[in-house]
Structure 1
Amino acid sequence: MSFARRVWQLYEPLHAVTYFAPQAREAFESAGLRGFWRGYFAGRAAPLGAVQAAPVTALFFGFASGMVSRALPDVWHRARPEEALAARLDGAVAALRAVVPSGSAPWAEAADLLERAAAAAVTDGRALGAANAALPRPEGELARLWQAATVLREHRGDGHIAALVGAGLTGLQALVLRDALYGGRDQLQPNRGWTDAEWDAAVGALAGRGLLDADGRPTAEGREAHRSVESRTDALAAQPWTALSAAEQDRLGELLVPLARGAAAVVPYPNAMGLPHPDGA
């Protein structure tokens, strides 16, 4: 397994608390963003400013446009982007403080290493990575840890979308192929807002390309397409880690393991991110 993939499996849970932890939900609600999806879309899109639905649909990639447009631009009438940013950071820090084991790893050292990688990330063509990288550096070890993890996960996510687009897959088709390989339609489809008709049409399109068989099961070509996208994603995510020596990469992995295990207490498994549990990664 590449370092880029292994370390993603450890820093992604630190970022993901902002979606699942009760402290994060409370922070969004206090800012006027009631309901999970208002907080999700406002918090994740806020680095872009008071953006409309169309660019967010494109950048988030896997969501149905109607689901995005139900949240945007309405959320900006409830909370300004700067208020959403403050809420997501405050909620994430409170969540991490509650779940990561105190004293199990030096937070400042982990934050320093993640920040060095995030600062080195080339964000050309990576809108979400660039928007998050441009945010001011927050104060506090956990805030720095969370923000650096967020820059790196959005940088990786931008590359993943580029790999999918390069493979000729739409956001919905990527979800359908993943379901065919690993299951999860009951979670993926409603959480991304697709209708049965849209999902079934994507199944037909993938079958027409030879990526699924007549029963909707992945073919050898479908498995290879998925493998190729994941390999390309890892390759596109590798660049920031060249800022760390091999010894520093090993040290970062050691530091992140107990933190990721703590954060995993509030992240559901399985999940729509395709993130494995840290103990099984």
Structure 2
Amino acid sequence: MPDTAGVAGQPGATEATPTEFARRVWQLYEPLHAVTYFSTQARAAFESAGLRGFWRGYFAGRAAPLGAVMAAPVTAAFFSFAPGMVARAIPDVWQRASPEQALAARLDGAVAALRAVLPDEPEQWAQAAGLLETPAGAAVTDGRVLGAANAALPQPTDPLARLWQAATVLREHRGDGHITALVDAELDGCQALVLRDALYGGRDQLQPNRGWTDSEWDAAAQALARRGWLTEDGRPTAAGEAAHEAVESRTDRLAARPWTALDPSEQGRLTQLLAPLAEAASGIVPYPNPIGLPRPTQ
């Protein structure tokens, strides 16, 4: 089960601070969003729209709320992808499917994936969607490009579509804040990945899935070593660990505000509703994975 210890409303739990709740609830709604990347249903929906190949579906589906945008803004908004990798997909994907077609495909695929794995309890889907829509609607999106673009999309009526879209608004809102924290720390996309790899491993997934060359990866490591965040042989220093923790803490702080739209009892009810859904959706997500989602705590 995903970890809900210490979340308001859980039996025996002390009330979580807004930043604590923001991090813990992220682990519950992120698996619901992530089916769009890892499910066979999502892949099939993108391919039916003319987006064959994983990365065409990924870039078109995630960028579609921005419209038929060029590569440079997508590189900036997605942050950790090498510009050349983005340019191989954008703007070519818009010749294969319009943003409207890509949006329809990503929602259809995500809903089909969730319907296939979630407990067949439509009333609970609707309750969870209604509660999740409250913070999604309260999310201030100033300066948050992907959060704003997703929040501006029409609200669907199907309960699973509502649930997925609310989760997507909140995860992109959080992601925009994470990028803000990384930029403030004067990290670029490759350096952020190199620091994460030094702390937790995963280069074999992170580097190819973000398109960075060996020379770019090595240059990022050297830049971090000059800052005193890595040793010359690539191990994290105490300063590097502290810098990473500061970024994560600021990400949580920047993600916290929408959740104040729910009172503690509503937060507790939301976690109760989301926990079994997150556990079921997590079965689709590989661990480790290139999006940084931790394995649910049993």
TM-score norm. by structure 1 comes to 0.98
Aligned to 1:13, the other structure's residue is in SS state helix
Give the unaligned 5+ runs of structure 1.
none
How big is each residue's C-alpha offset from its partner over 1:28-54, in whole Å with a ceiling of 9 and x where there is no partner? 000000000000000000000000000
Aligned to 1:33, the other structure's residue is in SS state coil
How big is each residue's C-alpha offset from its partner over 1:193-225, in whole Å with a ceiling of 9 and x where there is no partner? 000000000000000000001110000000000
Residues 120 and 243 of structure 1 are in contact (CA less than 8 Å); yes or no, is this contact kept in structure 2? yes
Q: In the comparison of the two structures, how many residue pairs are matched?
A: 280
Equivalences for residues 11-30 of structure 1 within 5 A:
11-30=29-48
* 2:206 is aligned with 1:172: no
Query: What is the aligned partner in structure 2 of residue 254 from structure 1?
Result: 272
Say which of 211, 217, 220 aligns to 1:199.
217
For residues 74 and 290 of structure 2, the distance between their equivalents in structure 1, rounded to whole angstroms, comes to 18
Residues 122 and 159 of structure 2 are in contact (CA less than 8 Å); yes or no, is this contact kept in structure 1? no
1:146 partner letter: W
1:204 partner letter: Q
For residues 91 and 119 of structure 2, the distance between their equivalents in structure 1, rounded to whole angstroms, comes to 38
* 2:135 is aligned with 1:117: yes
Query: What is the aligned partner in structure 2 of residue 35 from structure 1?
Result: 53
How big is each residue's C-alpha offset from its partner over 1:241-278, in whole Å with a ceiling of 9 and x where there is no partner? 01100111111111111101111111111111211122
Residues 261 and 279 of structure 1 are in contact (CA less than 8 Å); yes or no, is this contact kept in structure 2? no
Equivalences for residues 22-101 of structure 1 within 5 A:
22-101=40-119
How far off is 1:146 after superposition? Answer: 0.1
For residues 157 and 274 of structure 1, the distance between their equivalents in structure 2, rounded to whole angstroms, comes to 11
1:275 partner letter: L
Residues 105 and 258 of structure 1 are in contact (CA less than 8 Å); yes or no, is this contact kept in structure 2? no
1:229 partner letter: V
2:62 partner letter: R
How far off is 1:176 after superposition? Answer: 0.1
Aligned to 2:157, the other structure's residue is in SS state coil
Query: What is the aligned partner in structure 1 of residue 293 from structure 2?
Result: 275
1:73 partner letter: P
For residues 152 and 101 of structure 2, the distance between their equivalents in structure 1, rounded to whole angstroms, comes to 17
How far off is 1:105 after superposition? Answer: 7.3
Give the unaligned 5+ runs of structure 2.
1-15
For residues 91 and 151 of structure 2, the distance between their equivalents in structure 1, rounded to whole angstroms, comes to 23
For residues 123 and 85 of structure 2, the distance between their equivalents in structure 1, rounded to whole angstroms, comes to 40
How far off is 1:87 after superposition? Answer: 0.2
For residues 210 and 185 of structure 2, the distance between their equivalents in structure 1, rounded to whole angstroms, comes to 21
For residues 83 and 127 of structure 1, the distance between their equivalents in structure 2, rounded to whole angstroms, comes to 21
CA 1:105/1:228 → structure 2, altered by over 3 Å: closer, same or farther? farther
> Runs (4+) of structure 1 moved beyond 3 Å?
none
For residues 247 and 163 of structure 1, the distance between their equivalents in structure 2, rounded to whole angstroms, comes to 30
Query: What is the aligned partner in structure 2 of residue 141 from structure 1?
Result: 159
2:195 partner letter: L
Residues 52 and 73 of structure 1 are in contact (CA less than 8 Å); yes or no, is this contact kept in structure 2? yes
Instruction: Report the aligned-residue RMSD.
Output: 1.0
TM-score norm. by structure 2 comes to 0.93
For residues 226 and 175 of structure 2, the distance between their equivalents in structure 1, rounded to whole angstroms, comes to 27
For residues 152 and 206 of structure 2, the distance between their equivalents in structure 1, rounded to whole angstroms, comes to 31
For residues 120 and 230 of structure 2, the distance between their equivalents in structure 1, rounded to whole angstroms, comes to 47
For residues 255 and 269 of structure 2, the distance between their equivalents in structure 1, rounded to whole angstroms, comes to 19
Residues 221 and 234 of structure 2 are in contact (CA less than 8 Å); yes or no, is this contact kept in structure 1? yes
